[in-house]
């Protein structure tokens, strides 16, 4: 049994660094195309299918089975594509404040208008670059100064095209158990939109009193949830 961790927009696999030591089983943190170990991929070319293929490649390379697939934030639209590619390897899905808009819609149309404005202002030449001032407000509201600085140091550019590509949620129709970790202090994927995602998924819900980057601000708390799901 193992955890496979998929990061959200604007980060890479290293956003899970604080969490992994608390987990009760082997953990694989995947770098999606355009950052970290896959930084050689041009961000302007990246699609959601490319993101799902990156997860599949890493899982198959390690021949992982009985996987608890953990998706944070924007990974909510990558996870169903992974489920369609390697369903036989996935035991459970855990979505941490994950963006799950209606099937066929765009992520950009399904986020809080205030957050959307910040995101749109952060796009240049097809690349989404989070400015520190916006990131502090959206991501660091439950962090002390040192923790916030550490989180912000890991910000990475992302593909703006992913925000406007229609999503395919077919994989969520598969009979694979799923849990949604509802972050009650999240200022990025705010309450209204988390509740919309929960309603679409019809998942078990676990509340966690943290902001958006729970794996950095409260790694022990999030790990306890994941370990309990893992069993």
Alpha carbon distance 101, 79 (integer Å): 13
Name the pLDDT band for 71 (thresholds 50, 70, 90). Answer: very high
Query: How crowded is residue 179: how many other Cβ atoms within 10 Å of its Cβ?
Result: 21
Q: What's the pLDDT tens digit per position in 183-197?
A: 999 998 999 999 999
Contacts of 42 (CB under 8 A, 6+ apart): 34
Q: Are 33 and 10 in contact (CB under 8 A)?
A: no
pLDDT the model gives residue 107: 82
d(CA 115, CA 165) in angstroms, rounded, equals 18
Please tell me the least confidently modeled range out of 133-142, 144-153, 168-177, 178-187. Answer: 133-142
CB 182 within 8 A of CB 206: yes
Q: Best-predicted range by mean pLDDT among 53-57, 105-109, 117-121, 162-166?
A: 53-57
**Which has the minimum average pLDDT: 28-32, 38-42, 80-84?**
38-42
For the stretch 113-118, contacts whose Cβ atoms lie closer than 8 Å and that sit 24 or more positions apart, written own/partner, are: 115/188, 115/189, 115/190
Strands 26-30 and 2-6: parallel
Per-residue pLDDT tens over the stretch 16-35: 999 999 999 999 999 999 99
Could you tell me what percent of the chain has a pLDDT over 90? 76
pTM of the predicted model as reported, rounded to 2 decimal places: 0.94
Confidence of residue 161 (pLDDT cuts 50, 70, 90): confident
| pLDDT tens for each residue of 96-145 | 999 999 999 988 776 777 767 777 766 766 777 777 777 898 899 999 99
Is 119 in contact with 128 (CB distance < 8 Å)? Answer: yes
The per-residue pLDDT of the chain, averaged, comes to: 92
**Does residue 77 carry a pLDDT above 70?**
yes
- The domains of the chain, with CATH numbers, are 2-230 (3.40.50.1820)
> Residue 113: its pLDDT value, please?
75
- pLDDT > 90? residue 208: yes
């Amino acid at each position: 049994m193992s955890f496979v961790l998929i990061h959200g927009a604007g980060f890479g696999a290293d956003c899970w660094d604080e969490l992994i030591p608390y987990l009760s089983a082997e953990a694989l943190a995947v770098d999606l195309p355009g950052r970290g170990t896959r930084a050689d991929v041009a961000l302007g070319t990246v699609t959601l299918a490319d993101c799902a293929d990156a997860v599949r490649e890493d899982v198959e390379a390690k021949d992982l089975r009985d996987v608890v697939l953990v998706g944070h934030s924007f990974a909510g639209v990558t996870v169903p594509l992974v489920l369609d590619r390697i369903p036989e390897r996935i035991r459970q899905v855990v979505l941490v404040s994950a963006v799950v808009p209606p099937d066929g819609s765009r992520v950009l149309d399904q986020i809080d208008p205030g957050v959307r404005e910040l995101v749109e202002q952060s796009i240049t030449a097809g690349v989404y670059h989070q400015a520190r001032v916006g990131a502090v407000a959206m991501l660091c509201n439950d962090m002390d100064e040192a923790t916030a600085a550490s989180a912000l140091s890991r910000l990475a550019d992302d593909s703006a095209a992913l925000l406007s590509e229609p999503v395919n949620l077919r994989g969520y129709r598969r009979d694979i158990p799923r849990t949604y970790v509802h972050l009650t202090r999240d200022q990025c994927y705010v309450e209204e939109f988390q509740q919309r995602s929960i309603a679409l998924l019809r998942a078990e819900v676990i509340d966690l009193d943290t902001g958006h980057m729970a794996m950095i601000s409260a790694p022990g708390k999030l790990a306890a949830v994941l370990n309990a799901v893992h069993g």
